[in-house]
């Protein structure tokens, strides 16, 4: 089984920065073993969960168009962590952010909510004016 643990987040003023991180523990028990892709999604109350960014162990990343000029995703394979650096925060970036993992390697599977096999508990990001 896999587990995801998010950290960071909190509050920031518009225009500020925050970094959130996620640590993956365990594995899917596959033979041979593989490094799954990891991703970040966010969800505002009453809205659908949307993809923000994803990264795989080969260094491929995908970032949503709505944030690609402001957010950076990076992964440390040796630590099985994925972090999201959020700059120039906007009020509309306020949401619950969820770390996600898919039972696949390629980064594309971690940008599709229907391909996600396990979710973190979520971490709150609040941007104020």
Q: Which residues pair with 2 in a beta bridge?
A: 26
First to last CA, the chain: 41
What phi and psi, each to the nearest 5 degrees, are found at residue 6? -90, 155
Q: What digits encode the pLDDT tens for the residues 10-38?
A: 999 999 999 999 999 988 888 888 899 99
Asked if the model's pLDDT at residue 84 lies above 90, the reply is: yes
Structural tokens at position 44: 């505002």
């Amino acid at each position: 089984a896999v587990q995801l643990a998010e950290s960071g987040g909190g509050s920031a003023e518009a225009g500020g920065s925050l970094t959130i991180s996620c640590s993956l523990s365990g594995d899917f028990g596959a033979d041979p073993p593989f490094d799954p892709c990891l991703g970040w999604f966010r969800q505002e109350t009453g809205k659908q969960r949307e993809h923000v960014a994803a990264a795989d162990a080969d260094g491929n990343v995908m970032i949503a168009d709505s944030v690609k000029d402001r957010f950076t995703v990076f992964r440390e394979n040796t630590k099985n962590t994925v972090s999201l650096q959020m700059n120039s925060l906007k009020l509309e970036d306020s949401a619950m952010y969820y770390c996600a993992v898919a039972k696949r390697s390629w980064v594309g599977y971690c940008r599709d909510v229907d391909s996600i096999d396990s979710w973190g508990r979520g971490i709150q990001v609040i941007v104020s004016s």
